[in-house]
Amino acid sequence: MMMTTTQPENQTPPALLLEGKRVVITGGSRGIGKALCEVFAREGADVAFNYNSNDVEAQDTVKRIEAYGRKAKAFKISVVDRDGLKEMTKTLVAEWGGIDILVNNAAINKGDNFVTTTEKSWLDVINTNVNGLYYVSKPITKVMMKQRSGSILNITSIAAIRTMPTSVHYATSKAAVIGFTKCLSRELASFGITVNGIAAGIYNTELGHSLPDAMIEVYKNWVAKGRMGDPKDLAEVAAFLCSDRNAYMQGEIITVDGGCVT
């Protein structure tokens, strides 16, 4: 005999993961950053993001956030503009009353071999991916410490932990993100702030497609899922990691790469 079950009439639907949260996401006009903005808004958050240059894509992100009935703010500020980032933080605190979540996502890569890497190329990658992490996080961390609550998520890469055929300066910068995450998590735990990271594989983004086509095809063979990641694959995990339901993870780097075997 086939059994059927019914839901109690008074059962409330599951709460959104990020209901009422105030979020800052770096690099929100494209790729993984755009997906993070959309998924976080879907889960109930108001979302502010910075971007470097593409006004059209930034406005598209704003529309995606607002389509879920959430507040959206776009700031055309580089992650290496220290003064601009401080003003962005002050503006958000004044208008929103605080900041609950920071996702450090913005990064660049340049397809160089080490022996042909120029000093300019090296400094550009390190400045954006490492110094930018500091410039964004410092003022927002101070806000969270005063609140005695918050969540910081840093996006790193499997290139930082595996022998991937990628640029040395990129792998170096992403290894620095891991050290930053682990050390900061210890300092901020007593203030009620969680700090974790995601090591991303290769995703179907502009950054992912900056890699040689041959490497992308090889990667698909390495990966159990048999494909590049979709940006929302990472964003869905990120939403949980930044939510109050993730109450006991601290200083961890979660790999989201489709099962890369290298």
In the numeric block, the tokens 């208008």 are attached to: 95
The token pair that represents 203 in the structure block: 């995703």
The token pair that represents 106 in the structure block: 């913005």
Closest CA to 208 of 253, 258, 242: 258
The token pair that represents 111 in the structure block: 């397809």
Catalytic residue among 170, 203, 219, 248: 170
The token pair that represents 87 in the structure block: 């003003």
Quick count: other Cβ atoms within 10 Å of Cβ 212? 11
Burial annotation 136-173 (CB, 10 A radius, 16+ → b, else e): bbebbbebbbebeebbbbbbbbbbbebebebbebbbbb
Does residue 248 carry a catalytic annotation? no
The token pair that represents 38 in the structure block: 């959309």
34, 204 Cβ separation under 8 angstroms: no
Quick count: other Cβ atoms within 10 Å of Cβ 28? 34
- Contacts of residue 59, Cβ cutoff 8 Å, sequence gap at least 6: 74
Give me the sheet containing 101-104, strands edge to edge.
Answer: 72-76, 46-51, 22-26, 101-104, 150-157, 193-200, 253-256
Cα dist from 39 to 61, 74, 93, whole Å:
11, 16, 22
User: Hey, which residues are catalytic here?
Assistant: 170
